[in-house]
Amino acid sequence: MLAAAPVTVVEVREDPADPFLFPEEEQVVARAVDKRRKEFTTVRQCARSALAELGLPPVPILPGPKGEPRWPDGIVGSMTHCTGYRAAALARASDVLSLGIDAEPAAPLDNGDVLDLVSDETERSALAELGGRHPEVPWDRLLFSAKESVYKAWFPLTGRWLGFEDARLFLHPDGTFTAALLVPGPTVAGRELTGFAGTWLIRDGIAVTAVVLPVTPPAPGT
């Protein structure tokens, strides 16, 4: 996983043989298909393991009105899952303002129309250049994943939707990316947030992206 201290990350490759959900969580997936139930259950087991590493007891982790996970007071976090991978990343709110993680299969997007929906011409041009230099990397999938991570970091700060077209993202071969907001951002540490910085990693067939926003974000241009 990408994030480091003060973020606690728990990731697994398989669903547990003895899954556990609190009764409140059981109600959420009572009518879910088996795949959805396993994803829901395992990421919450990851999250509770991360809570334990932070010295906190296990609690129900219920979805909010927009599907966002509701964390205990004083905790920020993010969860993700795809085929063969589940993970949760948590931190104390005194250390991290917001964070987002996303995992996807490390393969090109299945449908070329998806890239058109999630990117603009500037981003697609940059992807084409990256693909010419590093054709082994599924840059379109990474772009999709990174935008998901940006949204997950954005939503707790604003409570608002952020469309794919609302942030212009640039991936870099060194395992980092930047996202420039194209809509007004929230006020953080006394100034408007204009973008996010993140990291990406491809390992064992999984592409993972992460955004960690510290309590005191770096000044623009630093």
Rg of the Cα trace of the chain?
17
- Determine the residue type at 35: K
pLDDT in the model for residue 153: 97
pLDDT in the model for residue 216: 74
Instruction: List the domains of the chain with CATH numbers.
Output: 8-99 (3.90.470.20), 102-214 (3.90.470)
- CA-to-CA separations, 169 to 55, 119, 148, in angstroms, rounded: 36, 8, 11
Q: How far is CA 147 from the centre of its chain?
A: 8
Q: Name the strand (E) or helix (H) holding 160.
A: none
pLDDT in the model for residue 3: 66
pTM: 0.93
Per-residue pLDDT of the chain (222 residues; tens, 9 = 90+): 666 679 999 999 999 988 899 999 999 999 999 999 999 999 999 999 999 999 999 999 999 999 999 999 999 999 999 999 999 999 999 999 999 999 999 999 987 789 999 999 999 999 999 999 999 999 999 999 999 999 999 999 999 999 999 999 999 999 999 999 999 999 988 889 999 999 999 999 999 999 999 987 655 554
DSSP 69: B
Q: How far is CA 77 from the centre of its chain?
A: 9
Distance CA 153, CA 186 (A): 12
